[in-house]
Amino acid sequence: MKTQAVVCREPGQPWEVTELDLDEPRANEVRIKMMAAGMCHSDDHIQKGDAPMRMPVVGGHEGAGIIDAVGEGVTRVKVGDHVVCSFIPACGSCRYCSTGHQNLCDSGKNAATGEFPDGTFRFHQDGVDFGGLCVLGTFSQYTVVSEYSVIPIPEDLPFDVACLVGCGVPTGWGSAVHAAGVQVGQTAVIFGAGGVGMNAVQGAALAGATRVVVVDPVQFKRDKALEFGATHVFATAQEATDFVIEATWGELADHAIITVGSLHDEVIHDAINIVGKSGQVTITAVGNGSIKEHPGMLIGYQRRIQGAIFGACNPLHDVPRLVGMYQAGKLKLDELITNRYTMADVNQGYQDMLDGKNIRGIITIEH
Of all helices (H) and strands (E), which one includes residue 84? strand 82-85
Q: Tell me, yes or no, if 167 is annotated catalytic.
A: yes
DSSP SS3 for 39 = strand
Q: Are the C-beta atoms of 188 and 212 separated by less than 8 Å?
A: yes
> First and final CA of the chain: distance in angstroms?
14
* Candidates 45, 82, 178, 255; catalytic one: 45
* Candidates 8, 41, 42, 255; catalytic one: 42
Q: Tell me, yes or no, if 61 is annotated catalytic.
A: yes
| Residue 301 CB coordination number (10 Å) | 15
Q: Tell me, yes or no, if 42 is annotated catalytic.
A: yes
328: left (phi over 0), alpha (psi -120 to 50) or beta: alpha
Q: Where are the beta strands (DSSP E) in 148-198?
A: 150-152, 187-191
* Candidates 41, 61, 82, 255; catalytic one: 61
Q: What's the CA dihedral at 294, 300, 302, 303 to 10 degrees?
A: -40
DSSP SS3 for 273 = helix
* Candidates 40, 85, 91, 163; catalytic one: 40
Q: What are phi and psi of 256, to 5 degrees?
A: -130, 125
* Candidates 91, 105, 163, 167; catalytic one: 167
Task: Say which DSSP state 179 is in.
Answer: I
Closest to 323 measured CA to CA, from 219, 197, 126, 170: 170
Write the secondary structure of 206-230 as one string of H (helix), E (strand) and C (coil). Answer: HCCCCEEEEECCCHHHHHHHHHCCC
Q: Are the C-beta atoms of 77 and 152 separated by less than 8 Å?
A: yes
Pairing mode, strands 150-152 and 82-85: antiparallel
Residue 153 forms beta bridges with which residues? Answer: none
HSE of 68, CA atoms in CB hemisphere, 13 A: 16
Catalytic residues: 40, 42, 45, 61, 167
